[in-house]
Amino acid sequence: MARMISREPTIERLATAKSLLLTPFGLDESHLTRALNEIKAHKVDEADLYFQYTRSEGWSLEEGIVKTGSFSIDQGVGVRAVSGEKTAFAYSDDISEASLLDAARTVRTISAAAQTKRAKTATQKIAGGRKLYAGIDPIATLDSTAKVELLGKVEKLARAKDPRIIQVMAGLAAEYDVVLVARADGTLAADVRPLVRLSVTVIAEQKGRREVGSSGGGGRFGLAYFTDAQIEDYVDQAVHAALTNLDARPAPAGEMTVVLGAGWPGILLHEAIGHGLEGDFNRKGSSAFSGRVGQRVAAKGVTVLDDGTIADRRGSLNVDDEGNPSQRNVLIEDGILKGYIQDSMNARLMGVKPTGNGRRESYAHLPMPRMTNTYMLGGDKAPEEIIASIKKGLYAPNFGGGQVDITSGKFVFSASEAYWVENGKIQYPVKGATLVGSGPECLKRVSMIGNDMKLDPGVGTCGKEGQSVPVGVGQPTLRIDGLTVGGTA
């Protein structure tokens, strides 16, 4: 009987990437070497070619019917040369030897000094990578009929939960992303990245008042993840949020104790702390955390990580967009700042090693230091004990969006689900609560850390300088003292 021989995952991914991004266009590794040698004919510190093939599909349901279905394929190559702090970049959606060489000659002009001797061809090495998710095409894991039925199931379930649910919206998205990176030092790396997401939004109405609730999740796997039990869980959360807000009173304003729930509220950590720990802001001295490695920046017990190596997570990567393996980076340990997250250029200029955080939205964008999955480790307190410790204050188990000013560290966040607490007892839901503060200051005011650390359900997208990438966040239940709440009362 013939046996199936499986290849090592790194080799497997490389074979997939070549079959989609090189072979159909009559290219092989010799063409990549030639293009990189064209760039290296002028002195540069770094150069790379980034090929990408993306196939994506989306379905959305509204008013009981699937109203839209979209499908797209995008492919291209980005060519970059870096000299000192300067970067030259060209990209094309035409993958061919001519456009590759044309882009290579364009970017090498960043360094005018031509070398007298011919650039040496670097010895080729295949970058080591991780095996964090299966190299599958998630779009093919369910047929179209089953996708439409899945969304119909969401609609039916939500309406059956409560007669006050008057509208249901649901979206299903799947993406198959294949990347190939060739670097001037001879490194060749590839990744095959599946990504799926299901989102649920409901509108509830009572006595003329309407409120919204939303939920959802996903990750780097196939659509079979969305079992009936998983769908019901998302629907329960969305309906609960909408019905809770129907009874919500205006949120009080002022300085008070705030307890954040576990999981998705880690978005505050991502915005208020994470962005300030990205290498580019710290190299330029524009972050509130610049030059503070080794110093206390948070309360004891606060340990923050950026970890791109968690299996199947939305923010995880086998290799980053520069071909470096993802890593588990400890940023803050027991309140002490340990380091920043880095791409290749900022790491070189700061005299440290890359941390596997060079990320870009697509082949048409430049890489920069970006978060993957950013979370705080758990402590030793039961969540019930933390809520019971509030004399007067706010408990916010769920969040909307937020934003931060990197230089000052100041942030503004809106709570999508929050409760007023007095003498350790939850009194009633409140609406319109915004949390205002400074990231570095907020970290010092953490007074209790829960033992219930959890990651978000797989919905995060992070924006920076016009580029969006999928990310993960997480944290345990946290008590923060003296946080400013902007309310509506």
**pLDDT at 213 > cutoff 90:** yes
Give just the sign of the alpha carbon dihedral 263, 254, 251, 486.
Answer: negative
**pLDDT at 420 > cutoff 80:** yes
**pLDDT at 3 > cutoff 50:** no
b/e map 338-352, b = 16+ CB within 10 Å: bbbbbbbbbbbbeee
The token pair at 269 is 């950590």
pLDDT of 423 reads: 98
Name 167's bridge partners.
203
pLDDT of 116 reads: 42
Beta-carbon count within 10 A of 227 CB: 9
d(CA 102, CA 419): 59
The token pair at 469 is 């990438």
Assess contact for 194 and 211: CB atoms under 8 A.
Answer: no
Q: What is the pLDDT of residues 473-483, one digit of tens each?
A: 999 999 999 99
d(CA 358, CA 370): 6
pLDDT of 235 reads: 98
Q: pTM score, two decimals?
A: 0.94
Percent share of the chain, pLDDT over 90: 85
The token pair at 472 is 């993960």
- Name the residue among 103, 77, 45 with its Cα closest to residue 346: 45
> What is the Cα 467 distance to its own chain's centre?
11
Assess contact for 42 and 113: CB atoms under 8 A.
Answer: yes
d(CA 137, CA 175): 8
